[in-house]
Amino acid sequence: MAVKICGNCGESNAEGSLLCVVCGSSLKDVQMEGTPNADKEYSANAKPAICQHCNELLEQGSLTCKYCGTVVSKTTNSSRYYSHSTSSEEHSGSSPMETFGRGCLWLILGSLALLLIAFVTRSSITISWSLFIPIVILVFWLASKKGK
């Protein structure tokens, strides 16, 4: 990707910029550095991409679908952290975000229950750190074991 470096502040600007995005100086006479997008060659063997939202053909190098506006994302064959499989046999557990959300929900509900008990009994409830930390660990461990 080519950029224009502002002579006034040194900021990198997109190749088609006429004004610096930081200081507003003119970039009219500034030389581009790098390879302009128009000069880049694309592989002729690349298969045409299809929009995941509306199933229309995407133009080569486009970042959004011109039909529905969906942002184009690259798909990978494998992931280091997540499985792209959606079958129920292969996806018996839950994703890390589901586990985190479920654990947080359980902690919030437990805290609200303790506040309600304290309010009804008109007393205060004190939990030591040596008891609180194992409870949090236990809640998230149980949340990770909970399947869909």
The residue with greater pLDDT, 77 or 16, is 16
Query: Domain range spanning residue 59?
Result: 49-73
Determine, yes or no, domain membership for 119.
yes
Q: How far, in Å, CA of 129 to CA of 131, rounded?
A: 5
pTM recorded for the entire structure: 0.37
Determine, yes or no, domain membership for 141.
yes
Where do the DSSP E strands lie in the chain? 3-5, 12-14, 32-33
Picking from 148, 43, 47, 132, the residue whose alpha carbon sits closest to that of residue 98 is 148
List, for residues 85-127, the tens digit of each pLDDT value.
444 444 455 678 888 888 899 999 999 999 999 999 999 888 8
Stretch 37-62: mean pLDDT: 71
- pLDDT-derived band at 1 (thresholds 50, 70, 90) equals low
pLDDT at 131 over 50: yes
Determine, yes or no, domain membership for 86.
no
Amino acid 95: pLDDT: 78
Determine, yes or no, domain membership for 128.
yes
- pLDDT-derived band at 18 (thresholds 50, 70, 90) equals confident
Amino acid 74: pLDDT: 62
pLDDT at 132 over 50: yes
* 17-35 per-residue burial string, b: 16 or more CB within 10 A, e: under 16: beebeeeeeebeebebeee
List, for residues 56-70, the tens digit of each pLDDT value.
888 777 778 888 888
Into how many domains does the chain fold?
3
Determine, yes or no, domain membership for 85.
no
Distance set, CA 101 to CA 84, 89, 115, 141 (Å): 20, 23, 21, 12
Determine, yes or no, domain membership for 8.
yes
Amino acid 125: pLDDT: 86
For all residues of the chain together, what is the average pLDDT?
78
Picking from 38, 11, 41, 39, the residue whose alpha carbon sits closest to that of residue 27 is 11
Q: What percent of the chain has pLDDT over 90?
A: 15
